[in-house]
Homo-oligomer: A and B are copies of this chain.
Amino acid sequence: MNLPILKIEHKCPECGLQKDGFFCCVSDDSLDLFQVTKITNTYPAGSMLFIEGQPANGVYILCQGSVKLYTCSQDGKVVILHIAKPGEILGLSAIVAGGEYEVSAEVLEPCQINFVRRKEFLDLIEKRSDVAMRAVEHLSQQYYDAYDQIRSFGLTNSVAGKLAALMLSWCRDTGNGYGAVRLKLPFTHEEIAEMIGTSRETVTRLLKDFRQDELITLKGSDLLIHDPERLRSVVTRPRGSRARS
């Protein structure tokens, strides 16, 4: 197994990874408190951080790597709810509301993660108002993202539209504004299918369609989105209608 080398940072105050939007981007005092309660760990790809239904005994703050959050039904069907990036906190809503993790979390790319026990974390947001504010901000953002996904599922009338919407969200993450966007696809067709609630074969076919309509170029895992604007018109386009060549 080829493990990318992770440069572990044990001391939060000295951590160069802290950026805007990071959960751990709080006042120095709070960071000191955080520093003594956290447990730093690393995980290889494929590890499970937690599983749907398990008692939630703490939160995971993602320093490096990426994590897939998903849920699945009894018959094995999977829905990917979110791909977490560095700076995000996982399991927050679970330790507050449910007591059980409501989703499963699997490591996609090797991760460094800080774990904080449920009780200690709740103490932290109780005592430090800036941490509480960060928690509110992060939950609001997660909530917003969830609604975006519901919109995609409910309002888009064709699967092509859903795929186009998903690609546009990739553009937002990667894109440097407007114009063509080039990015590396870290997902298999199967995973893409699970994100938009369709079948693997349909994703394969749609990617072919998009190529033929010259919306995208796809070579291996290199995806080039020619024009986000044209993709946007696919999202709302009525079923079946295709660009005429």
Kindly specify which of A10-18, A24-32, A66-74, A166-174 makes contact with the partner chain. Answer: A66-74
A92 within 8 A of B: yes
Does A57 belong to the interface (CB within 8 Å)?
Answer: no
**Would you give the shortest CB distance from A84 to chain B, in whole angstroms?**
14
Interface string of A134-161 (1 = CB under 8 A from B): 0111011111101101110111110000
Q: Interface of A with B (CB < 8 Å)?
A: 71-75, 77, 79, 81, 92-94, 96-98, 102-103, 125-127, 129, 132-133, 135-137, 139-144, 146-147, 149-151, 153-157, 197, 236
Q: What is the CA–CA distance of A155 and B196 in the complex, to the nearest angstrom? A: 11
In the bound complex, do residue B143 and residue A133 qualify as a contact, i.e. CB atoms below 8 Å apart? no
Looking at A79, A139, A141, the one whose CB has the most chain B CB atoms below 10 A away is A139
Q: Which of B71, B81, B140 contacts A96 (CB 8 A)?
A: B140
Query: A-side binding surface: helix, strand, loop or mixed?
Result: helix
Q: How many copies does the complex hold?
A: 2
Cα–Cα, bound, A96→B135 (Å): 11
Nearest CB of chain B from residue A194's CB, rounded to whole Å? 8
Among B126, B129, B153, the residue within 8 A (CB) of A153 is B153
- Chain B residues lying within 8 Å of A157, measured Cβ to Cβ, are 77
- Beta-carbon nearest neighbor of A130 in chain B: B126
Partner of A150, one of B74, B75, B94, B153: B153
* A79–B154 touching, CB < 8 Å: yes
How many Å from the CB of A229 to the closest CB on chain B?
15
- Asked if A93 meets B150 with Cβ closer than 8 Å, knowing A132-B125, A133-B125, the reply is no
Known contacts A136-B96, A136-B139, A150-B79; decide if A236 and B74 are in contact (CB<8 Å).
yes
CB closest chain-B residue, reference A71: B151
